[in-house]
């Protein structure tokens, strides 16, 4: 079964009807990296960035801001060698005064930039997210 047959290879979208566990199995079936961050315990921009960096096993300094996060998702991963593809799940992003709509869009823009970067290299980079 191809769970993602109707999903373009490079996009950022709401998780909608997908479940994280099914997406993880699909990433394994496709031989792609599965990156998962559960952000329900975060309330600020820095906490969200740190949670993502920790969950993705990025060096600690990459959780400090979105520019470093963007760099790790793109240039550093590309320099590591050929990539088979990425399936990313960001679950329960906060909806708080310190992580408002602008902060959420800024974060999702980082992932959109990464999707564009990998699209240019013909590597799948799909991101699914949900909000609290």
Q: Given this model, what pLDDT does residue 1 score?
A: 64
pLDDT tens, residue by residue, 72-127: 999 888 888 899 999 999 999 999 999 999 999 999 999 999 999 999 999 999 99
CA distance 48 to 107: 9
How large is the average pLDDT for residues 43-56? 91
SS3 state of residue 64: coil
CA distance 89 to 22: 11
Burial class (CB in 10 A: 0-12, 13-18, 19+), 12: buried
Which band of pLDDT confidence, cut at 50, 70 and 90, is reported for residue 131?
very high
Kindly state whether residue 126 falls inside one of the protein's structural domains. yes
Kindly state whether residue 91 falls inside one of the protein's structural domains. yes
Q: What CATH number does residue 116 fall under? A: 3.30.370.10
Structural domains counted in the chain: 1
Kindly state whether residue 118 falls inside one of the protein's structural domains. yes
């Amino acid at each position: 079964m191809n769970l993602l047959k109707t999903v373009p290879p490079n996009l950022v979208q709401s998780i909608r009807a997908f479940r994280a566990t099914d997406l993880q199995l699909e990433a394994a079936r496709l031989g792609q990296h599965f990156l998962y961050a559960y952000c329900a315990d975060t309330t600020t921009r820095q906490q969200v960035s740190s949670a993502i960096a920790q969950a993705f096993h990025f060096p600690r300094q990459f959780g400090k801001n979105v520019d470093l996060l963007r760099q790790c998702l793109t240039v550093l991963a590309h320099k590591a060698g050929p990539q088979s593809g990425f399936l990313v799940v960001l679950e329960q992003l906060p909806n708080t005064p310190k992580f408002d709509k602008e902060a959420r869009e800024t974060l999702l823009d980082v992932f959109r930039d990464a999707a564009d970067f990998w699209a240019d290299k013909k590597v799948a980079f799909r991101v699914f997210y949900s909000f609290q």
